[in-house]
Chains A and B, each alone.
Chain A
Amino acid sequence: MHGAHDSENLELGLEGLSKVEGHVDLEVKVTKGKVEYAKLKIPEAKRFYTQAVRGKPMTAIAQLVSRICGTCSMSHIFGCTKSIEDAVGLVPSEQTMKQRRLSMWAHLIRDHPLHLYFFVLPDMFDKGSVFDFTSPEEKKIIATALEIKAAGNNLSKMVAGRSIHAPWPVLGGFTQIPDKAKYPNIVHDLEHAREHSLELLDVFYDCPWKFENKTTYVGMVGPNFDYMSGDLLSSDGLKIPEKDFGQYAQRIWRDYSTASAFLLQGKDYMVGSLPRLNLGKKFLHKQTQKDCAKQLGRFPSKNVYDNNLAQAIETIDSINQSIDLLESTDFKPEKPVQPARKDGAGFAVVEAPRGVLYYNVNIRDGKVQNMSVAIPTGQNQVRIEKDLAELVQQQVDAGKDKDYIVHEMEKLVRAYDPCLSCATHFLKVKWKK
């Protein structure tokens, strides 16, 4: 083991952080016991979707931007669709909004557990991977986690046609409605998933990891807790109109990263589950408020690792909301609403599982002129780097060795549930050489 003396001068490089979606490298430099910088380097090759959509019919691009990210595809479909509908004056039916809500909840029910049980749980059990859970008790935990994930995946299939790159959502509606004959099985599985999620909730509540930061929490919250509507709030007391988000959030460029980072009015901020519960826990389903009363007492929280607990609670909430809606709704065949016009500028915010996703689109004669997007991991980047610098400073001061510090860095970045597939595609392309 190395002592404090060895960490006086350190260059920590971690190429390819494991158990995150996409590729990211970490780099930290310590000189004479002081952290000089921490960098979150996103080296993936851009795919230029914001260029690729230009000139394409507005009805076609939701399926294209879905391919920005296999993890967050549902959020991209609805973020993009919402912005185009804003641009061309299209108001979807109440039934469409219900089907979209179900799609987003289904998305949450499969995506949060993937992060919690495949990426976070191995760290909590001091294992390298989910495949290292081999004793009967450990296998039981994994079986439970898989059942929760499956309930979300199957709900996605029923309400959107598929969980990844869902084929049914279109501009103004859906091409198909959920098959009522499937409700009983889906609801049965969701009820089991709720039970299992409640059983596993205290794994995250009792987790002793702690890293408190001082930042601004930003999220869109409101009645229904549907990740698509409500007010975009900040813990500084701001209420940001969706169309003005682009003016509040500044895109900044890091020369070591192919993704854009963002500041909100010049300051770092955090988006994701923790901000949503910090700002809007009162909007959760009554059943969630009842069943998770103890755990919800933790919020508002400044502990980054409570993002994991927040995700576990949101999973339960999405299950409660879905069961409620399915039991009270008869979907009837209806045609997608047609746009009122073919020109306009549109703005939309939705909540991806990992935070605020912003779309701005300009439509001319029914075609996309240009589009810009702010993705959650880009918005968290500046805060993650500051957290890393502070974390490493604490650990160096405490005399921890290099391997320990690197592991702590990984854990901290994972708590933000970064999604690098999304992050690599929205670098502002015009800058001075």
Chain B
Amino acid sequence: MSNTSGKTPKLDKLDKGPWPSFVKEIKRAAEKSPMSKDLLGQLELSYEEKIGHWKHGGIVGVFGYGGGVIGRYSDVPDKFPNVAHFHTMRVNMPSAWFYSTEALRKLCDIWEKHGSGLLNMHGSTGDIIFLGTVTDKLEPIFAELTEAGFDLGGSGSDVRTPSCCVGPARCEWACYDTLNLCYDLTMHYQDELHRPAFPYKFKFKCAGCPNDCVASVARADMSIIGTWKDGIQIDNGAVKEYADKGMNIQKDVCGNCPAKCMEWDGSTMAIDNSLCRRCMHCINVMPKALRPGKERGACIMIGSKAPIVEGALLSSVLVPFMKMEPPYEELKDLVEKMHDIWCEEGKNRERIGEFIQRVGLGNFLEAIEVEPSPYMVEHPRDNPYVFYEEYFEEGDEDEGEEEDE
């Protein structure tokens, strides 16, 4: 009933069904917001014509920031004047997306006053996404957000808003404090986050264990994945409890171990931790009986990204194990060296993973002063096209030394 400017028969079909409906949400916002009403109308047009009706983003923002706002304009502004300008604001979420109702209500009030009343909880990178406002409102929104203790997130070629899993706040598997690292990195890189100066975007994601609930291995230029060095902690009594309740320990747990490094004889669980790959399967299925070891830290991986430009990449190991304790100097030193070489030699719109592919991981390691390690590769190269960097000439003192050894 809220839609008076035009009928939306196609979208109306999606406001029922068991899953919560985005159409219902837009209609709810449209009861008070002419912007949301026109959004619904324009979306109906897209459903009729099977094509989007948004123009390329323009350059808009708040004073002194180069990121955090994405300009958005309708290509049918005559039909839907209230979404002629419909910009996005990215608001940096708190670590692990914990909120008080007080804070959420405050955000809703700001957005009711100045925007469409529609938002994404959350965007793909993790920000709170305010969908739809006009240029004149950007500064007032920003003022009210900072008053409420919030700030904008990243966009463009900058440090993107770091994100993290629920971590030690509510997970027994967290191998380091993901919330703290996420907050620390976000604060440390405020300038890099708000003022794009990189070849392209740079994402941090902090996962507390190899289950990687924030998909860092696929979606972060730097993936910080919690792990442990010593042995899995075993409570044999609790293993037995799982067995007594009907779990087939041999088949479901040991049989699924990728390293085949565990055995259960009915009373004792034996794990050869030197072969354990820290995959988490056994711990996942018996959380009461098995726990990650006590010597905890993180594996630092680098370079993942979606396909654009040169193809999708997964992150790969840079530092197999690093202690993760504030103030995280070792990690920040590493990041600084990486950013230096990438900013100096990276091409426009070249993610760091693609940069490494282009210059070679070996050369990259030299630039950031990290020693090569077999942990970094699936296997050594299997082609003989080696870029040897030195050769002897006749008369060199070292000539022939190898033969004498």
Physical interaction between A and B: no
